[in-house]
């Protein structure tokens, strides 16, 4: 091999050596030794879990499980949630396996001082689980995890954190408004807290009132459960309401077996309730028949809607 070839080979070996050193430094962080792969972090059965909580930068939630196996928010057990989302979180903990266990050399840059996620769980067996997720490994994208019950440190897949990427608002199972526009509404009936009631049919007023009605939606922000006596306490027992009549298209089967599209009349009602404060602003509770969730309508929308309880239609169809 000539001199130029020897220099090239030496340079290649140097590059490979540097890559190996870089790999070792990034992967092991401060020279930490690693145990074999496939280490079990949690062997508890998710079916035995009775409660769990998690905390991260933008939210913290606690859950309890009822006798039928359904999960509920610990601070409002009657508020309907997507129980399957809670199940996905506790299932992610059960049988959690680490890519590697870090058996020495814990370093500050593992991120446990400023965790990305902390999770605690309790089981019927009396066992408790307490996990802290720290920084992301720069080399392989895995996440450092510390089991606070035994002090062990692991590298786990980032997918272990994914089920916890939920918020309180996102986990609440809210009601749904009809998939219609203000133009589909044929009348609006409103009854206020004083007992005044009117049905609006004038086109301009109807369009404005229906727009406000439909814009309320069912935002989970600030909502709470409302069952039994709570409905009367919150003023949403049905004494004051707003109701729209609207047309919607549906498919019917004719006598000869063919199908056709027809317009049908439908109604949708919301119960309007008492005033409350949330986030320093004034709101009013509202709900729908059969729901156990009390939502918040902003003060302006509430009063604009309830003023139609004293509305008088005109022959010209103009707004008064």
* pLDDT tens for each residue of 266-299: 999 999 999 999 999 999 999 999 999 999 999 9
pLDDT tens across 148-196, in order? 988 899 999 998 999 999 999 999 999 999 999 999 999 999 999 999 9
CA-only gyration radius of the chain, Å: 30
Task: Give the integer Cα–Cα distance in Å for 49 and 67.
Answer: 12
The residue to which tokens 């299932």 are assigned: 91
Establish if 61 belongs to a structural domain.
yes
Q: How many domains does the chain have?
A: 2
List, in order, residues 6 or more apart from 214 with CB less than 8 Å away.
Answer: 177, 178, 180, 181, 182, 185, 244
Least Cα distance to 265 among 279, 281, 247, 240 occurs for: 247
Establish if 1 belongs to a structural domain.
no
DSSP 37: S
Residues 96-112, mean pLDDT to the nearest whole number: 77
- CATH number of the domain within which 188 lies: 2.60.40
Range of the domain at 300: 174-310
Least Cα distance to 264 among 178, 194, 173 occurs for: 178
Residues 44 and 83 in one domain: yes
Domain end marker among 140, 170, 200: 170
Residues 221 and 272 in one domain: yes
Domain end marker among 170, 195, 215: 170
Establish if 317 belongs to a structural domain.
no
Residues 113 and 182 in one domain: no
Establish if 17 belongs to a structural domain.
no
């Amino acid at each position: 091999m000539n001199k130029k070839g020897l220099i090239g080979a030496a340079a290649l070996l140097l590059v490979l050596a540097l890559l190996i050193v870089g790999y070792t430094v990034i992967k092991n962080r401060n020279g930490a030794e690693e145990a074999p792969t496939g280490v079990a972090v949690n062997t508890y059965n998710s079916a035995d879990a009775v409660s769990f909580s998690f905390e991260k930068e933008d939210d913290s939630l606690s859950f309890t499980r009822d006798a039928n196996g359904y999960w509920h928010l610990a601070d409002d057990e009657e508020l309907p949630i997507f129980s399957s989302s809670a199940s996905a979180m506790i299932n992610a903990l059960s049988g959690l396996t680490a890519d590697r266990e870090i058996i020495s050399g814990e370093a500050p840059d593992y991120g446990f001082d400023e965790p990305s996620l902390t999770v605690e769980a309790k089981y019927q067996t009396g066992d408790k689980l307490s996990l802290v997720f720290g920084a992301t490994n720069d080399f392989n994208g895995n996440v450092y995890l510390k089991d606070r019950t035994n002090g062990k440190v692991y590298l786990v897949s980032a997918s272990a954190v994914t089920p916890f990427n939920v918020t309180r608002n996102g986990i609440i199972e809210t009601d749904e408004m009809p998939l219609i526009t203000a133009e589909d509404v044929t009348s609006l009936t409103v009854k206020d807290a004083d007992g005044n009631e009117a049905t609006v049919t004038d086109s301009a007023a109807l369009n404005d009132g229906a727009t406000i009605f439909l814009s309320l939606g069912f935002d989970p922000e600030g909502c709470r459960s409302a069952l039994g006596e709570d409905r009367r306490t919150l003023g949403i027992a049905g004494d004051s309401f707003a109701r729209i009549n609207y047309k919607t298209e549906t498919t019917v089967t004719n006598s000869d077996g063919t199908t056709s599209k027809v317009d049908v009349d439908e109604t949708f009602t919301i119960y309007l309730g008492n005033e409350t404060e949330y986030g320093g602003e004034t709101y009013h509770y509202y709900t729908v028949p059969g729901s156990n969730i009390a939502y918040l309508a902003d003060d302006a929308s509430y009063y604009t809607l309830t003023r139609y309880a004293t509305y008088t239609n005109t022959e010209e169809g103009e707004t008064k």
